[in-house]
Amino acid sequence: MRAEYDSSRGASGKHAASIRQDPIIEKCKATLARHYGKRLKGVVLYGSMARGQASPASDIDLLVLLSPPLDYFAELWQIVNVLYPLQLESDHLISAKPVSIKDFEAGSVSLYRNAKREGVTV
């Protein structure tokens, strides 16, 4: 599934391309796409991994962009459950947060603005 959110901001070039080809990132996106179907509007990697500053102990920070309506805690529970098997096969903690696509595009929270600026759409 191709993400519907596509920003020209954020990381680009070889670094972004290598992130998009990372096997665990690809598996996360595919798993979320299977689970959410058309509700999934995009997946944005943010944080140290997106900036190219990750250490072996860094986690994988993801924003899961969903069409409304969104019940944050119900979606968070679902995301944790569907991504947990991938976390077991990875050397990294996967930290994924559900976000309404409308809230993300509006940049209503500093985390969203930072992810739009520094993140990588996967």
Structural domain boundaries of the chain? 13-121
Q: At what angle do helices 72-89 and 23-36 cross, to 10 degrees?
A: 140
Mean residue pLDDT of the chain comes to: 87
For residue range 96-112, what is the model confidence (pLDDT) as tens digits?
999 999 999 999 899 99
CB 106 within 8 A of CB 3: no
For the domain 13-121, what is the CATH code? 3.30.460.10
Joined together, the tokens standing for residue 89 give 């096969």
Element (H, E) at 64: strand 60-66
For residue range 11-43, what is the model confidence (pLDDT) as tens digits?
555 556 667 668 899 999 999 999 999 999 999
Supply the pLDDT for residue 15: 58
Tell me the backbone φ, ψ of residue 34, rounded to 5 degrees: -65, -40
For residue range 52-99, what is the model confidence (pLDDT) as tens digits?
888 888 899 999 999 999 999 999 999 999 999 999 998 789 999 999
Alpha helix (H) residue ranges in the chain = 13-20, 23-36, 48-51, 72-89, 101-106, 110-118
